[in-house]
Amino acid sequence: MIHASTTAITRPRSLDEALAALEKSPGAVLLAGGTDLMVAWNAGERHLPERVVDLWSVPELATIGVAGDALHVGALATHSRIVGSPEVRAHAPALAEASRTVGAAQIQNRGTIGGNIANASPAGDTLPVLLAMDATIVVASRARGERPVPADAFWTAYRRTALAPEELIVRVEIARDRPQVLFRKVGTRRAQAIAKVSMALSLRRSAGGAVEDARIAWGSVAPTPVRARRAEDALRGKPLDAASIGAACAALPQDISPIDDIRSTREYRLHVAMAILRRALSGWVG
Amino acid sequence: MVPGRSRIVGDSPVRKDAFEKVTGKARFVDDLSVEGAWVGRTVRSSEAHARLRAIRFDPAFDWSTVVVVTAADIPGENVIAAIADDQPCLVDGVIRHAAEPVAVIAAPDDRTAGEALRHVSLDTESLTPVLDHESSDQALKSYEILKGDVERGLAEADLIVEGTYRVGHQEQMYIEPQGIIAIPRQDGMLVQGSLQCPFYVHKALTRVLGLAGDEVVVAQTVTGGAFGGKEEYPSMIAAHAALAARKAGRPVRIVYDRREDVRATTKRHPATVRHRTGVMRDGRIVAMDVEVVMDGGAYVTLTPVVLSRGTIHAAGAYRCANTRIRSRAVMTNTPPNGAFRGFGAPQTLFAVERQMDRVARALGLSPLEVRRKNLIGVGDTTATGQLLTDSVGAREVLEAVATAGNVELRHAELENKPRVDGAHLARGLGLSVYLHGAGFTGSGEAHLRGKAAVALGRDGRFEVQVGSTEMGQGARTVLAQIAAEELGVPLDDVDVVTPDTSIVPDSGPTVASRTTMIVGSVVREAAAALGAELGAAYPSLELRAAAREHAIERGPLRVLREYRPPPDVRWDDAAYRGDAYPVYGYGANVVEVEVDLDTLQVEVTRCLAAADVGKAIHPQLVEGQVQGGTLQALAWGYLEELVLKDGRVQNDRMTNYLIPTTLDTPPIETILVERPYVRGPFGAKGVGELPMDGAAAALASAISQALGVEVDTLPATPERLLDLVRGSR
Ligand SMILES: Cc1cc2nc3c(=O)[nH]c(=O)nc-3n(C[C@H](O)[C@H](O)[C@H](O)COP(=O)(O)OP(=O)(O)OC[C@H]3O[C@@H](n4cnc5c(N)ncnc54)[C@H](O)[C@@H]3O)c2cc1C
């Protein structure tokens, strides 16, 4: 529960105001939809901070649109808006798919992509998709202005990110010419389930059918969302056949480090990761 | 009344409580505004087993702002009255489980109470806990049922089939967590709250507070689900709230949040069941030897009766000349397990139904054939020697699902389907058939003699007065229907009062699928007697007019009746033989699944549920019971899993103790079978628990067929299935 007597809440009305507020008190906690924060506060998993900057009314952060070669998704875009956005559907349908699996309607109405990214849970559903799409996470501070961070460099350790204390996430940029991404989430039930394993996969193949580029990203199998680089290497330059698929699956256990926890087991996660990768590659068309 | 003539019974009128619930007008205990009420919080142990040396109150907190209650403040006995009276209200000396109440703190507001709680610590000396029921040697109760000669039956059998089955805890997960408010009064204590059995709470309070019966009043507030979980634990919370209210001299409300509720309150008993079955080549079962072990947790609570029901149901819906069922419940240092829809029967019925599939496989028969050959019917006797004489719908429910599910063909088709390497999905079909004793076990109803009253008010309307509670299942509507039908007045003329121990007679607890059948029959008798009295007073008037005249001229009128057990129902408690229940409900399920071979996730693609309920007083509510119970059983089968570590619940939130969402709910095709029970009101038998009994077994069976393994342990999570599949390779 938030007690106003101990927590000061600032509610900026523009990006400038937000950045100024953050500069004034670096380390203030940014509040977007609150669907991660409120739970953590209520459960006593996080202490109530002295300062909260509530981003909910910053219009610049909420836009979704196409700018030049890229799709721009504002950090404050809710999962519901992402699901409903024609631009996202056209240029990054897998992102809409991932957002559609976050919690249920109520959570999707409040929860934002910026919150999902900054919360940095290894189970965050949009994160593997952003990795597979080679997305750029644009962050900003008042002092330094905007700074693009490749998704590959954003999640640095368990629940740690490349975000500096006076920075916030402004938007996500996804190039429009990226190959399509296949997203698969394995949860304990069909809705309102945190992923036990999730996978986002994209392949680019030459006219001859050889794999030119592969990005295979995972959730819930390591301290951060991760790319399976050895598995990707096993595919690169090869035709997509039993041999290369077998090699990629065999390499996968070295890329990921799943654990036993309340939701599943290491054994199961390893098995499922390999099985869904094999299935996805075997059925790959295009 | 001739059933054919009825207009109210057998119809599905709008529930009496629908409007207030749908419009948000219903007031739950947390919604009540009570002048000057303080908030109560519970200090709990965190160790499974320890000696409590001292409770330390950090001087950094200003203790003058709150009230603290410990065992030393109890004016009466430090006990939560139940079967064995072994559970203290607040720990005094030895901690026996990791969520045991040690003290209660009452404060003007939530925040102060929470602050205070953080400044209490326990000084303890750890003891070695027993955490696993299979290795506990502390039996708290045991039974033995003997019929025929099991050893001879086994010796004569062509084949002996053995199996061991294990099931885990299940959390009731009612929508509204538990809560009670205690209000001190000049002449005693008023307690209101979310509860199933007001008279249980009443009894517990008189003991703890050392008050006379008329000094304690217990009233139910609108209750958001219970499933057995509010049968015994409200006595504990009520005692805590009342002790705090007494010491603070003001009302104190204790409402658990979800985490405390999941950690501390009772769950379904985990169990291990072993079967040895002697069968003949033609499929006849000639011997059943069953051993049941249930985990009672740290205190006796209701475990002896849960075990009793589980024991009696352990032979399932089958006839067998030579049966031996030996059961015991043991103690562990885990939170006490207690009542949960089905009350011990789902555990043992799961085992016997899986065992029947094993028998079928061993004999090369289909699951349907084996069941058809051995199914109990009129003229057969149960394991306790009860002769079944009427209202036996076993055959009907089995054949109903067999036909609707095209079971013979579908099962064979799936059995013979070749396995394809690299296939993505595997399909299977499972079947179950079962019975559920309605009403209390053995001599329970005879001892209890549940009472019910029907009264004519000053306004010429009628009131049903019972201790039976509405907790979402529809009791208020069904009991009103029974009275209205019997009186011959519109349903709107009849209300059911909210249970309040100072107003209503003790009808017995709202448990054991007994409310419609047992209490309903007493309500019907009382209504008939009241109708007769009004008719005699105004012979020329229609009943409604007579009621109005009576109300004006002579005032209100009330008729009280009590349950008289049928004279031919005989039970021998010492030998555990005889008529274990006045009658049984029967159920059957067919479940078809699709298992994803990559993830071992299970999807139920078809689910049939047939139930013989005698007579559906309110068919829509019955269907609701069947669907809800079936879903709860399916979820127990594959999804719901309580994780304990060192005796502490690890998944105490809805985010990690998962129950099915709408998307996880398959369409459940309900088939109602009505084999009237002559002594039930209009032929009705109990239905509340029956649907919990069989779907998990049918599901496990379907998964077993799909994967070519035997699923003997619940829940059949993908992780467990992976182990099974790997083990079978
Ligand atoms: C019932 C329930 C179910 C859920 N199910 C899922 C699920 O299935 N999949 C899933 O991935 N998640 C799930 N979540 C988690 C959560 O909803 C998502 O992570 C959501 O995207 C978080 O967004 P938010 O705006 O609510 O974040 P908030 O709670 O507001 O913030 C989360 C974190 O991000 C930081 N932050 C927010 N915005 C910014 C910004 N612009 N710049 C820098 N930092 C920022 C905050 O400081 C905080 O640390 C669930 C949560 C609940 C309560």
Task: Say if residues B377 and B305 touch (Cβ distance below 8 Å).
Answer: no
Quote the pTM value. Answer: 0.96
Q: Are B420 and B511 in contact (CB under 8 A)?
A: no
Does the Cβ of A129 fall within 6 Å of ligand 1? no
Residue range of the domain that includes B423: 271-442+575-728
> Which of A163-167, B5-9, B100-104, B195-199 is least confident?
B5-9
Asked if A172 contacts A88 with a C-beta cutoff of 8 angstroms, the reply is no
Residues B59 and B43 in one domain: yes
Residue B231 has pLDDT above 60, yes or no: yes
Residue B154, in any domain of the structure: no
8 Å CB contact between B99 and B90: no
Nearest CA to A270 out of B713, B726, B709 is that of: B726
Determine the average pLDDT of the residues in B11-19. 97
Q: Is residue B58 one of the residues assigned to a domain?
A: yes
Dist. CA B419–CA B437, nearest whole Å: 42
Confidence of residue A212 (pLDDT cuts 50, 70, 90): very high
Which pLDDT value is given to residue B4?
A: 44
Any ligand 1 atom below 6 A from CB of A35: yes
Type of residue found at B290: V
DSSP B204-262: HHHHHHT--GGGEEEEEPP----TTTTSSHHHHHHHHHHHHHHHHTS-EEEE--HHHHH
Q: How many angstroms separate the CA atoms of A28 and A72, rounded?
A: 26
B610, B699: one domain: yes
Distance in angstroms (rounded) separating the CA atoms of residues B552 and B546: 10
Q: Give the H/E segment covering residue B389.
A: none
Q: In Å, how far is A198's CA from the nearest CA of chain B?
A: 12
ipTM, 2 dp: 0.95
How close, in Å, is residue B348 to chain A by CA atoms?
Answer: 27
Is residue B1 over pLDDT 70?
Answer: no
Q: How far is the CA of B9 from the centre of ligand 1 (A)?
A: 51
Q: For position A27, what pLDDT does the model report? A: 82
- Terminal-to-terminal C-alpha distance of chain B: 63
With a pLDDT cut of 90, the percent of chain B lying above it is: 97
Q: Summarize pLDDT for B120-178 with one digit per residue, the tens.
A: 999 999 999 999 999 999 999 999 999 999 999 999 999 999 999 999 999 999 999 99
Same domain? B592 vs B699: yes
The answer to whether A191 faces chain B, any CB pair under 8 Å, is yes
Q: Are residues A188 and B639, on separate chains, in Cβ contact within 8 Å?
A: yes
Q: Is residue B168 part of a domain?
A: no
Q: Which protein residue's CA is at the shortest distance from atom 28 of ligand 1?
A: A34
DSSP B88: -
B558 and B428 share one domain: no
Residue B101, SS3? strand
A216 forms bridges with which residues in the sheet? A201
B686 CA distance to ligand 1 centroid (A)?
47
In a domain, B331, yes or no: yes
pLDDT-derived band at A1, boundaries 50, 70, 90: very low
- Chain B contact set for A267 (CB, 8 A): 719, 722-723
| Edge-to-edge order in the sheet of strand A8-10 | A8-10, A51-54, A29-31
Rg of chain B over Cα atoms, rounded to whole angstroms, equals 26
Same domain, B647 and B540: no
Residues B600 and B706 occupy one common structural domain: yes
Provide the pLDDT for residue A5. 57
Q: pLDDT digits over B333-379, tens only?
A: 999 999 999 999 999 999 999 999 999 999 999 999 999 999 999 99
**Phi and psi of A161, rounded to 5°?**
-130, 175
Q: What is the maximal distance between C-alpha atoms in chain B?
A: 85
Cβ burial B364-380 (10 Å sphere, 16+ → b, else e): ebbbbebbbbbbbeeeb
Are B247 and B315 in the same domain?
Answer: no
Residue B91 lies in a domain: yes
CB contact under 8 A, A192 and B110: no
Q: Domain check: are B349 and B467 in the same one?
A: no
Whether ligand 1 lies within 6 angstroms of the CB of A31 is answered as yes
Last residue of a domain, one of B541, B562, B583: B562
B436 and B448 inside one domain? no
Residues 249-278 of A with CB under 8 A from B: 262-265, 267-268, 271-272, 275-276, 278
Of B264, B297, B327, which residue is a domain's last? B264
The verdict on B22 and B61 lying in the same domain is: no
Beta-carbon contacts below 8 Å between A and B: 54
Query: CA B73, CA B490: separation in Å to the nearest integer?
Result: 52
Residue B166: inside a domain, yes or no? Answer: no
The answer to whether B604 and B635 have CB atoms below 8 angstroms apart is: no
The structural domain count of chain B equals 3
CB B162 within 8 A of CB B359: no
Stronger pLDDT, A5 or A241, i.e. the higher one: A241
- In this prediction, residue B433 carries a pLDDT of 98
What confidence score (pLDDT) does residue B319 get?
Answer: 97
Q: Which amino acid is at B133?
A: H
Which of the four pLDDT bands, split at 50, 70 and 90, describes residue A285? low
Alpha carbons within 13 A on the beta-carbon side of B524? 21
What's B354's domain CATH number? 3.30.365.10
Q: Does B661 sit within 8 Å of A191, measured CB to CB?
A: yes
The type of residue at B572 is: D
Measured distance CA(B235)–CA(B257) in Å, rounded: 17
Mean pLDDT, chain B, integer: 97
Three-state SS across chain A?
Answer: CCCCCCCEEECCCCHHHHHHHHHHCCCCEEECCCCCHHHHHHCCCCCCCCEEEEHHHCHHHHCEEEECCEEEEECCCEHHHHHHCHHHHHHCHHHHHHHHCCCCHHHHHHCEHHHHHHHCCCCCCHHHHHHHCCCEEEEEECCCEEEEEEHHHCEEECCEECCCCCCEEEEEEEECCCCCEEEEEEECCCCCCCEEEEEEEEEEECCCCEEEEEEEEEECCCCCCEECHHHHHHHCCCECCHHHHHHHHHHHHHHCCCCCCCCCCHHHHHHHHHHHHHHHHHCCCC
Residues in B 223-282 with any Cβ partner in A closer than 8 A:
259
**Residue A160 φ then ψ, to 5°:** -120, 145
pLDDT for A179 equals 94
Neighbouring C-beta atoms of residue A250, cutoff 10 Å: 13
- Rounded to the nearest 10 degrees, what angle do helices A242-255 and A266-282 cross at? 150
Phi-psi region of B340 (alpha: psi -120 to 50; beta: other; left: phi over 0): beta
Atom 36 (ligand 1) nearest CA = A115
Helix, strand and coil content of chain B, in percent to the nearest 5, comes to: 35, 25, 40
Tokens 């649109």 label which residue? Answer: A65
Rounded to whole angstroms, how far apart are CA atoms B200 and B191?
A: 12
Distance from CA of B483 to the nearest CA of A (A): 43
d(CA A159, CA A118): 8
pLDDT of residue B6: 60
Residue minimizing CA distance to atom 50 of ligand 1: A103
CA B313, chain centre distance (Å): 15
Residue-level pLDDT at B449: 94
Query: Are residues A110 and A81 in contact, defined by beta-carbon separation less than 8 angstroms?
Result: no
- With CA atoms as reference, the chain A residue closest to B661 would be A191
Q: What is the pLDDT of residues B524-537, one digit of tens each?
A: 999 999 999 999 99
- The response to whether residue A194 sits with its C-beta less than 6 Å from ligand 1 reads yes
Let me know whether B61 and B204 are in one domain: yes
A157 vs B: CB within 8 A: no
Share of chain A above pLDDT 70, in %: 98
B11: in domain = no
Domains, chain A, in order of start with CATH, read 8-54 (3.30.43), 59-175 (3.30.465.10), 181-282 (3.30.390.50)
Domain boundary among B213, B246, B264: B264
> Is residue B135 included in any domain, yes or no?
no
- B121 touching A (Cβ < 8 Å): no
- Percent of chain A at pLDDT > 90 equals 92
Q: Give the pair of three-digit tokens for residue B286.
A: 């000639």
| Residue B451 backbone dihedrals phi, psi, to 5 degrees | -110, 155
Backbone φ and ψ for B519, nearest 5 degrees, come out as: -65, -40
Model confidence pLDDT, tens digit, residues A78-113: 999 999 999 999 999 999 999 999 999 999 999 999
The dihedrals phi and psi of B632, each to the nearest 5 degrees, come to -60, -35
**Sheet strands (E) in B45-92:** 50-57, 67-69
Is the CB of residue A118 less than 8 Å away from at least one CB of chain B?
no
Q: State which H helix or E strand residue B602 sits in.
A: strand B602-612
Does one domain contain both B287 and B337? yes
C-beta A29 within 6 A of ligand 1: yes
